[in-house]
Amino acid sequence: MTGPVVGVSAVQGDFEKHIHAVRNAAPSARVVEVRTPEDLAGVERCIIPGGESTTVGLLMQRFGLAEALRRRVAEGMPLWGTCMGMILMAREVEGRDQFTLGVLDVSVQRNAFGAQVHSFEAPIPMLGLDEPVTGVFIRAPVVTRVGPNVEVLAEYEGRIVAVRQGRMLGTSFHPELTGDDRVHRLFLEM
């Protein structure tokens, strides 16, 4: 039996680590690097990795990928954003007028824990997982507002760092950098 066809947005960012993590979580999965609407058309679900949200947002608009992602999410395609990916999925970015897909009913604050030099790891208890995951936070955002259909999955020191809305998942941290594929498996089961 063949596994799911999983897209990983490969416009910019740490997409290779997500590809590796998906293959570990589901060896039968076919993983596709997504850069264009044509790439996206062939996948069943998609991950937007970390990176630089302003740049990626501009490139997604230029390649037509932004509108294609919005359309596919409206049709029910599961979508997961890690760090920058969650920023791009958000309805609003506090204090900034920047492009977002606007599909996840949350507000986010960029770089909520500080600059690159303030990066850290911490155990994060997460709803749906038996044991905490290691949260790798690199210039990470936090969720400052959740809509009525958004479920909070994890917090760190009282700040929201993982959410779920229907078939969408957003995490402030980077599970793909840990070797622990449980969050990837959670996404693949959505």
Q: Of 131, 155, 157, 174, which is the active-site residue?
A: 174
Q: Of 38, 52, 67, 83, which is the active-site residue?
A: 83
Neighbouring CB atoms inside 10 A of 105's CB total 19
Q: Of 18, 155, 157, 176, which is the active-site residue?
A: 176
174 noted as active-site residue: yes
Is residue 179 classed as helix, strand or coil in its secondary structure?
coil
Side-chain half-sphere CA neighbours of 116 within 13 A: 2
Dist CA 128 CA 109 (whole Å): 25
46 noted as active-site residue: no
What pairing do the DSSP bridges indicate for beta strands 120-124 and 104-109?
unpaired
83 noted as active-site residue: yes
Indicate which residues carry an active-site annotation. 83, 174, 176
